Amino acid sequence: MKAQLRHMLRDDDVNHQEQKQILQLGMRFREDRFYRRPLDGPQAVAVLFDKPSTRTRSSFSIGVAELGGYPLVIDKSGSQLGRGEPIADTTCVLTRMASAIVWRTFGQDRIEEMARHSSVPVINALTDQFHPCQVLADFLTIAQWRGGVDALKGMTISYVGDGANNMANSYLLAGATAGMDVRIAGPNGFLPDERIVRDARRIAADNGGDITVTTDPRAAVSGSDCVFTDTWVSMGEESEYAIRSKPFWDYQVNDGLMGLAKPDALFQHCLPAYRGKEVTSSVIDGPRSVVWDEAENRLHAQKALMTWLVGCQRGDESLLA
């Protein structure tokens, strides 16, 4: 295998087979948290946060340590990036010291600029446009509950709520890559960017999947294998909740809406969740909810992704399976 620098900036940075490899690695890490230790040394991974975090911070910090490495966690207030240093300059410094860079930031353009200047893998830990690490964990959760990674192809997944946010974008691209039937439902004015929908449809056509974007939550959820939602108000918009939430009440995931999905359909939420708003307590705390497995799987999926990216860079096929 030839060494190749790879990044994970958006969900379609990997193809169908590569996504399967990462998820299969994630299943191995679920079975044995120390299945691979590619960062033994230890090697450092820089983990940068421009936004608050619980699950991302915990899962990457613990994950890097369990891979044998050292997580160098830097908040915005502790970085010169927060004081206006050019992204290129920060990147050039970090690549001299770290084996990979993980960044939770704002615009997608920021992490793409970092990747252009990096000689080590760069991982998108969330931007305003995409959240690929979360969706890898979500798909790993489906695989956990439905008999393995091969079960993903041909499944129907439904996302209801704010269809214009990063989660909806990532479900479109990652679901298309997996060969799923992806349905996104949101109110007018809160539907995915048509450019991302076009990309998803192109990818889905190659992998036997399908893409539906609709304003009808009932049609989106009908017969679904897994139902997803997310908060209606993104970070930084909490003061606008009363106004922002008005278009979304018909998209609340409650017992009635879940009743349209398959009887054994799973419910997932990337968290934090607001019970009584985007999801009712009866659903998120009910028997079909797998949100705690989903949260745990951030650890296993991200360890798998880091291992896979390091394997690509080293040309080490043993780290890809």
Just list the catalytic residues. 104, 131, 134, 230, 270, 298
Cis-peptide into 42, omega within 30 deg: yes
Continuous H helices in the chain? 16-31, 55-66, 87-95, 108-117, 132-146, 166-178, 194-207, 217-221, 241-244, 255-258, 281-284, 291-314
Tokens of 141: 């959760």
Cα–Cα distance measured from residue 56 to residue 52, given in angstroms and rounded to the nearest whole number = 9
| Cα 24 from Cα 28, distance rounded (Å) | 6
- Residues with Cβ within 8 Å of 228's Cβ and at least 6 positions away in sequence, in order, are 138, 157, 158, 159, 160, 167, 171, 267, 268, 269, 270
Residue at token pair 């307590």 = 281
> How many C-beta atoms lie closer than 10 Å to residue 100's C-beta?
25
Of 159, 171, 154, the closest CA to residue 217 belongs to 159
How far apart are alpha carbons 123 and 259 in whole angstroms?
Answer: 37
Helices 194-207 and 166-178 pack at an angle, to 10 degrees, of 20
User: How far apart, in whole angstroms, are the C-alpha atoms of residue 44 and residue 41?
Assistant: 9
Nearest to 55 by CA among 234, 272, 231, 269: 272
Q: Are 192 and 184 within 8 A, CB to CB? A: yes
